[in-house]
Amino acid sequence: MTVTAAPPAPVSGPPAPRAGRARHRAVTFALLAPAGLTVLALVLVPLVLVVRNSFALPDAYGGIKGGFTLANYTELFDPVYLKVFGYSLGMAALNTAVCLLLGYVVSYWLAGRPPRRQGLLLLLIIVPFWTDFLVRTFAWINLLSPGGPVNGLTDALGVTHGPAQWIPSQGASFVGLVYAFLPTAIFPIYATLRGVDPSLGEAARDLGCGWWRVHTRVLLPLVRPGLLAAALLTFIPTLGVFVIPVLLGGGKNQLVGNLIVTLYTEFRNQPMGAAASVVLLVLMIASVAVLGTAAGRLRRRTS
C-alpha cells in the first residue's frame, strides 16, 4: 500500500506536461484511495443498505428476507416506541442544555486564566475525556450505591438516614449522561471563546453593561459557533447511547440506542432495527437543521 502509493520519480528532468498531469492524478488518487474507499465501502454503502433493509421483511432466523413493506415504520408508531423516541429527545435536549451551560461557565473561567494555567487546566479536562467510557459510567455505580460515598455524605448532612436507593434510576442515568458528555461540550466552546478578544467584554462593561448583558449581548453571540458544535456533539451521541441507561437507569427508561440494540440482539428483528436506525438518522438530520436555522435567526436578530 505504501510503496505503490508513491513510486520513486525519475530524477532526470521534469516529465512531459501531459504525462506529468496524468501521473499527478494517479498519485493523488492512490493516496486518497485507502481512506476514500474505506468511507465508501464501510459508511456510505452500508447506510444505503440500512435504508433498504428498513423496508424489508424479516426472516425466521433474525436475518433479512427481502421484499418491500412499510410495516417496520408503522410498527414504530406504536405508543411503546413513540414513548422511547419522546423520552430520548427530552433526555438528549436536557443533557445538551446542562452540558452547554456548564461548558460555557467552565470555558469562560478557563479563558480568563493566565495562558500557562490554561494549558494545565485543559490537560485536567482532557484526562477525564480520554478515560474509558465504561469506567466513567461504572464509577457512578460505586458513588451512588446504597451505603456508598454519596450516601455517606448525605447521611452526614442529615439529608438521608441510612441506605438510599438511588441506583438504578432516571436521575442516575441523567447524571451519567451529563458526566459522559460534559468534557465533549467544553472543548468546542472553549476553542471559540479563546479566539474572542477579552477587551470586548471589558469594553462592554466600561460602557455600562452589567454582568448579564456582557454575556448575553457580547460574549454569547460571539461564541455561538462553539455552542452549536457542542450542542451537536452532545445531542446526537446521547440519542445513540445504550450503556448508560442500562447500567445506571436499570434499563427501564430506554433511549433510541437501547431500542436499536434490543431490536437487533433480543428480538432479532433486523428490518425493524434498521427502521429505528433510519428514524434516528432522520432525527439527527432534523436536529442539525433546527440548530442551523436557530443559529441563522439569532444571527439576523443580533446583527
Partner 1 sequence: MRGRTRLPGRLPDTVTAWLARGVIVFLYVPIVVVVVLSFNDSDVTYKWAGFSTRWYGVLAQDTDLLAALRVSAEVGLISATLATAGGLFAAMGMGRLGPRGRAVFSGSLFLPLVIPEIVLGVALLSVFGTLKASLGLTTLVLGHLVVTLPYAALIVLGAHRALDPALDEAAADLGCGAWQRFRLVTVPLLKQALLASWLLCFTISFGNIVMSTFTSGVGTTTLPLRVYSLLKTGLTPEINALGTLLVLFTFVIILGAGLRQMRRVLIGDGTD
Q: Which of residues 59-118 bind partner 1 (CB under 8 A)?
A: 63-64, 102, 105-106, 108-110, 115
Among 80, 97, 126, 159, binds partner 1 (CB under 8 A): 126
Distance from C-alpha of 162 to C-alpha of 154, rounded to nearest angstrom: 9
Helix (H) or strand (E) holding 196: none
Among 210, 294, 296, 302, binds partner 1 (CB under 8 A): 210
In the bound complex, what is the minimum distance in angstroms from residue 60's beta carbon to partner 1? 15
Instruction: Yes or no: say if 239 and 280 are a contact pair by the CB < 8 Å rule.
Output: yes
Q: Which set of grid coordinates corresponds to residue 185?
A: 461540550
Query: How many C-alpha atoms does 288 have within 13 Å on its Cβ side?
Result: 9
> Which residues between 152 and 171 bind partner 1 (CB under 8 A)?
none
**CA–CA–CA angle 194, 195, 199 (5° rounding):** 90
What is the number of residues in the chain? 303
Nearer to partner 1 by Cβ, of 174 and 300: the residue is 174
Among 130, 158, 266, 300, binds partner 1 (CB under 8 A): 130
* Distance of closest approach, residue 275 Cβ to partner 1, in angstroms: 10
Choice between 197 and 300, CB closer to partner 1: 197
The one among 9, 80, 97, 290 contacting partner 1 by CB under 8 A: 9
Contact call for residue 289 and partner 1 (CB under 8 A)? no
CA distance 26 to 231: 40
Helix H or strand E segment including 66 = strand 64-66
Q: Copy the grid coordinates of residue 5.
A: 502509493
Q: In the set 24, 83, 297, 299, which binds partner 1 (CB under 8 A)?
A: 24
